[in-house]
Chains A and B, each alone.
Chain A
Amino acid sequence: MEMVVVAPPAPGRLEDLRRRFFATPLQAVVSLACLTIMVFLVWKLLNWAVFSAVFTTSGGPEACQAAAGACWSVIAARWRIIFFGLYPYEGQWRSALACVAVVVMTVLSCIPAFWTGRRIALVWGAGTGLFYVLMKGGVLGLAHVGEEAWGGLALTLFIFVTTCLIGFPLAICLALLRRSELPWISRTTGLIIDGVRSLPLISILFTFAVVLPFALPQWLQGDKLYRVILGSALFFSAYQAEIVRGGMQGVATGQEEAAMALGMRYWQRISRILLPQAMRNAMPATINQFVISFKETSLVVIVGFFEILASGNAAYGTGEWRFAYVEVYAFIAFIYFIFVFSLSRYGAFLERRMSVSER
């Protein structure tokens, strides 16, 4: 869709402001009132967060609590818990590097130049491999650290990325099976998708973490962390499968017929013709789903993992920093915001990029 906007001769800045906000006396009053409230609020916030805030740990918690503004010293004192959870102190540089590895891997796989099967596989293989080696250790002279000690930001990122890496292909498989011409395949798939979607995520996590070990033989169980990731990937894929299916329905039937008439095989038609168009249609909903599952990683705390939010609780929960929970939550909210906001901006970039070829 192309939109040609013919702009009227642009009025000056001031004239524009006047027309928009001060056109009538009543409007002027309302505008001024809103402005006053906004200035007041922003000033209050800045005063709390910056002007009257304490940034150093030198005075200790008592001086910090006595101050009128925010007590950011809690972050300075406890940032290691927030970022690394219970990970052993002397190994925390590994956890930091692992976070960098995951972020770099994600950023690289967002760049269109990496969207060939081989490159994406390389990026993901290297990224997750590096993460795993750094976190787990036991090789290259790195001390072994079990999954139960992983935590903080590293754990949040790991759960999110692996959930998507497993859940996304699974979602595409489910969506393809659901549109199968064999009714028993499409019905069964539909039943699975609807079944998973009608359960709360917490119950799925709980089942995979706690109940599954009773049902599976020892060698099939794996660590609790990987079972939890599988459960969350399954949940993700059920929702994402419906999003992909919706995208597929938006692709004209003539597209597949043209591809067939050109002699393309099933997988060629799916990968070159159907999916690229379906994913384009499904882009906004897909980004939305990614954002939701990033935030839902915080639910793993109920099966005993200290991801970033739970680590935050631990950061202020013990002893002398007990009063500073607002600061800790504000800090964690800021970290969430950075990731989720980048995700949304990336989605907007993709939509712009794809709109070139829109019908």
Chain B
Amino acid sequence: MTSTNSTGEPALRIENLDKYYGTFQALRGINLSVQRGEKIVVCGPSGSGKSTMIRCINRLEQHNGGRIVVLGTELNDDVGNIDEIRREVGMVFQHFNLFPHMTVLENCMISPMIVRKQPRAQAEATARHYLEKVRIPEQAMKYPSQLSGGQQQRVAIARALCMQPQIMLFDEPTSALDPEMVSEVLDVMVTLASEGMTMICVTHEMGFARRVADRVLFMDGGEILEEAPPDEFFTSSRNERTRQFLSQVLGH
């Protein structure tokens, strides 16, 4: 393994990242470095490449140029590296993507058991611990279809946490939810942030960004146009397109 976890090594380092879909360039020369424990919020208009960027971090998309180093391991064609990184990086999707043929508990136990080879009892204890943490221990024996959207998303967060990842990626975790369920999911994410998890969140929940983000990134046209701490980002952004975007999301 190429893990050289020297103290100065950031959790994530992206250098000159390019990504093409056919001839269409979705990412252009992205540079980003995330320290351990840092919380990054990514925003930007639809089609700006936010999903593409965070999906490159755990190789759901393959990049075409530049380097991605996660926890000291470079993402390349080495399958061993990809497996190692996926074990250490959790992801939460917009549409939950829970496994419908398994109960909530099984959803949380399967990966620790077959990927981390944990014994069943240990996997179950871990799963119950995290279900408690996302405040739905009583739903463990239900199937995903029997839960509300907000509950499903919290299960999805618990499922990712059961692998005990060092980095968590969120791709618009609340945008498929009814408004009254958004806060229950955000509360869980705020708690997670306060415990020191390294987080990269694509979201348009600017209140969440203000509360937990160390830095907010603004993307458009496959580029990072602006990168600043939240107070600076919301009050005195230099970029015209950022201001326009902010007036749209914050506006009314």
Question: What mask results when residues 271 to 315 of chain A are scored 1 for a CB within 8 Å of chain B, else 0?
Answer: 011001100100000000000000000000000000000000000
Q: Tell whether A357 pairs with B145 under 8 Å between CB atoms, given A261-B86, A262-B163.
A: yes
Q: When the two chains form their complex, are residues B95 and A254 in contact, meaning their CB atoms are under 8 A apart?
A: yes
Question: What mask results when residues 33 to 53 of chain B are scored 1 for a CB within 8 Å of chain A, else 0?
Answer: 000000000000000000000
Q: How far does the Cβ of B143 sit from chain A's closest Cβ, in whole Å?
A: 4
Number of A-B contacts (CB under 8 A): 71
> Is B100 part of the contact surface with A, judged by Cβ < 8 Å?
yes
Which of B91, B100, B156 is A357 in contact with, Cβ under 8 Å?
B100
Q: Interface size (B, Cβ < 8 Å)?
A: 28
Q: Complex Cα distance A357/B159, Å?
A: 18
Question: What mask results when residues 327 to 359 of chain A are scored 1 for a CB within 8 Å of chain B, else 0?
Answer: 000000000000000000000000000101111
> Is B121 part of the contact surface with A, judged by Cβ < 8 Å?
no
Q: Interface size (A, Cβ < 8 Å)?
A: 23
Q: When the two chains form their complex, are residues A262 and B101 in contact, meaning their CB atoms are under 8 A apart?
A: no
Q: When the two chains form their complex, are residues B93 and A262 in contact, meaning their CB atoms are under 8 A apart?
A: no
> Is B21 part of the contact surface with A, judged by Cβ < 8 Å?
no
Q: When the two chains form their complex, are residues B115 and A263 in contact, meaning their CB atoms are under 8 A apart?
A: yes
> Is B111 part of the contact surface with A, judged by Cβ < 8 Å?
yes
Q: When the two chains form their complex, are residues A268 and B145 in contact, meaning their CB atoms are under 8 A apart?
A: no
Question: What mask results when residues 2 to 17 of chain B are scored 1 for a CB within 8 Å of chain A, else 0?
Answer: 0000000000000000
Q: Complex Cα distance A117/B60, Å?
A: 30
Residues of A within 8 A of B159 (CB): 262
Interface residues of A in 242-277 (CB under 8 A from B): 252, 254-255, 257-265, 268, 272-273, 276-277
A–B Cβ pairs within 8 angstroms, 6 of them: A255-B97, A257-B97, A263-B87, A265-B83, A265-B115, A357-B101
Question: Which B residues are within 8 Å of any A CB, using their own CB?
Answer: 58-60, 83, 86-87, 89-91, 93, 95, 97-102, 110-111, 114-115, 143-145, 156, 159-160, 163
CB-based closest 8 A-B pairs: A258-B97, A254-B97, A262-B111, A261-B91, A263-B86, A263-B87, A263-B115, A357-B143
